[in-house]
Structure 1
Amino acid sequence: MPESKVIAIGASAGGIEALRVVLAALPRALPAAVLIVQHLSPQSPGFLPKILERGSTMPVASPVDGEKMRPGRVYVAPPDRHLLVEDGGVARLSSGPRENRFRPAVDPLFRSAALAFGPRVIGVVLTGFLDDGAAGLQAIKLCGGLAVVQDPSEAWAASMPASALAHVDVDVCLPLREIGPRLIELAQQPAGAAPGGERSALIAEAAFAGGHPPPLEEALALGEPTLLTCPECGGGLMRLRGAAPTRYRCHTGHAFTERALFANLAENTESAVWSAIRALREQAMLARRPAREAAARGDREGADHLEKKAADCRALADRMRATQCNLAVDGSA
Structure 2
Amino acid sequence: MAQKQQQASVHDLIVIGGSAGGVTALTDLVKQLPAALNAAVMVVVHVHSESPSILTEILNSAGKLPVSTAQDGEAIEKGRIYVAPPDYHLRVKPGYLQLTKGPRENHHRPAIDPLFRSAAQAYGRRVVAVVLTGMLDDGTAGLMAVKMRGGVAVVQDPDDAMYSSMPHSALENVDNIDYILPLSEIPSILVTLANTPTENSQQSNLESDLAQSNMEAESGDLAGKPSTFTCPDCGGSLWEIEEGKMLRFKCHVGHAFGAKTLLAMQSEVLEEALWSAMRALQEKAMLSERMASKMRDRNLKLAAQQMEREAEAAKQRSQLIREVLEKGIEVK
TM-score w.r.t. the length of structure 1 is 0.92
**Secondary structure of 1:263's match?**
helix
One-letter code of the match for 2:144? Answer: Q
User: Is 2:271–2:329's contact at 8 Å kept on the other side of the alignment?
Assistant: no
User: Is 1:13–1:127's contact at 8 Å kept on the other side of the alignment?
Assistant: yes
Tell me how far apart the structure 2 counterparts of residues 299 and 261 of structure 1 sit (CA, whole Å): 52
Residue 143 (1) aligns with residue 149 (2):
yes
User: Which residue number in structure 1 is paired with residue 61 of structure 2?
Assistant: 54
**Secondary structure of 2:82's match?**
strand
User: Which residue number in structure 1 is paired with residue 71 of structure 2?
Assistant: 64
User: Which residue number in structure 1 is paired with residue 89 of structure 2?
Assistant: 82
* Aligned counterparts, 1:246-261, within 5 A: 246-261=247-262
The partner residue of 2:49 within 36, 42, 45 is 42
The partner residue of 2:101 within 92, 95, 98 is 95
- In the TM superposition, residue 200 of structure 1 has moved relative to its aligned partner by 3.4
The partner residue of 1:201 within 200, 213, 220 is 213
Paired positions, count: 319
**Secondary structure of 1:201's match?**
helix
User: Which residue number in structure 1 is paired with residue 110 of structure 2?
Assistant: 104
- In the TM superposition, residue 120 of structure 1 has moved relative to its aligned partner by 0.6
**Secondary structure of 1:153's match?**
coil
Tell me how far apart the structure 1 counterparts of residues 314 and 44 of structure 2 sit (CA, whole Å): 47
Residue 9 (1) aligns with residue 10 (2):
no
One-letter code of the match for 1:200? Answer: Q
* Aligned counterparts, 1:1-333, within 5 A: 1=1, 2=3, 3=8, 5-88=12-95, 90-168=96-174, 169-193=176-200, 195-196=202-203, 197-198=208-209, 199-207=211-219, 213-214=220-221, 219=222, 222-330=223-331
Q: Which residues of structure 2 form unaligned runs of 5+?
A: none
- In the TM superposition, residue 166 of structure 1 has moved relative to its aligned partner by 2.0
One-letter code of the match for 1:156? Answer: M
Tell me how far apart the structure 2 counterparts of residues 201 and 15 of structure 1 sit (CA, whole Å): 29
User: Is 1:84–1:108's contact at 8 Å kept on the other side of the alignment?
Assistant: yes
- In the TM superposition, residue 192 of structure 1 has moved relative to its aligned partner by 2.5
Question: In the TM superposition, what whole-angstrom CA distance separates every residue of 1:204-236 from its partner, at most 9, and x where no partner exists?
Answer: 2012xxxxx33xxxx2xx111111111111111
- In the TM superposition, residue 194 of structure 1 has moved relative to its aligned partner by 7.2
> CA 1:195–1:103 in structure 2 vs 1: closer, same or farther (change >3 Å)?
farther
- Return 321-330 or 116-125, whichever deviates more: 321-330
One-letter code of the match for 1:184? Answer: V
Tell me how far apart the structure 2 counterparts of residues 34 and 313 of structure 1 sit (CA, whole Å): 57
**Secondary structure of 2:254's match?**
coil
RMSD: 1.5
User: Is 2:56–2:68's contact at 8 Å kept on the other side of the alignment?
Assistant: yes
Tell me how far apart the structure 1 counterparts of residues 194 and 169 of structure 2 sit (CA, whole Å): 24
One-letter code of the match for 2:67? Answer: V
User: Is 1:110–1:123's contact at 8 Å kept on the other side of the alignment?
Assistant: yes
User: Which residue number in structure 2 is paired with residue 210 of structure 1?
Assistant: none
User: Is 1:143–1:195's contact at 8 Å kept on the other side of the alignment?
Assistant: no
- Return 222-231 or 239-248, whichever deviates more: 239-248
User: Is 1:133–1:160's contact at 8 Å kept on the other side of the alignment?
Assistant: yes
Tell me how far apart the structure 1 counterparts of residues 239 and 261 of structure 2 sit (CA, whole Å): 15
Tell me how far apart the structure 1 counterparts of residues 105 and 201 of structure 2 sit (CA, whole Å): 27
Question: In the TM superposition, what whole-angstrom CA distance separates every residue of 1:255-297 from its partner, at most 9, and x where no partner exists?
Answer: 1111110000001110111111111111111222221111111
- In the TM superposition, residue 253 of structure 1 has moved relative to its aligned partner by 1.1
User: Is 2:19–2:133's contact at 8 Å kept on the other side of the alignment?
Assistant: yes
User: Is 2:263–2:331's contact at 8 Å kept on the other side of the alignment?
Assistant: no
One-letter code of the match for 2:88? Answer: R
User: Is 1:118–1:194's contact at 8 Å kept on the other side of the alignment?
Assistant: no
Question: In the TM superposition, what whole-angstrom CA distance separates every residue of 1:49-101 from its partner, at most 9, and x where no partner exists?
Answer: 1111111111112111111121111111111111111122x111111111112
Q: Which residues of structure 1 form unaligned runs of 5+?
A: 208-212
One-letter code of the match for 1:78? Answer: P
Tell me how far apart the structure 2 counterparts of residues 188 and 248 of structure 1 sit (CA, whole Å): 37
Identity, in percent, stands at: 44
> CA 1:22–1:223 in structure 2 vs 1: closer, same or farther (change >3 Å)?
same
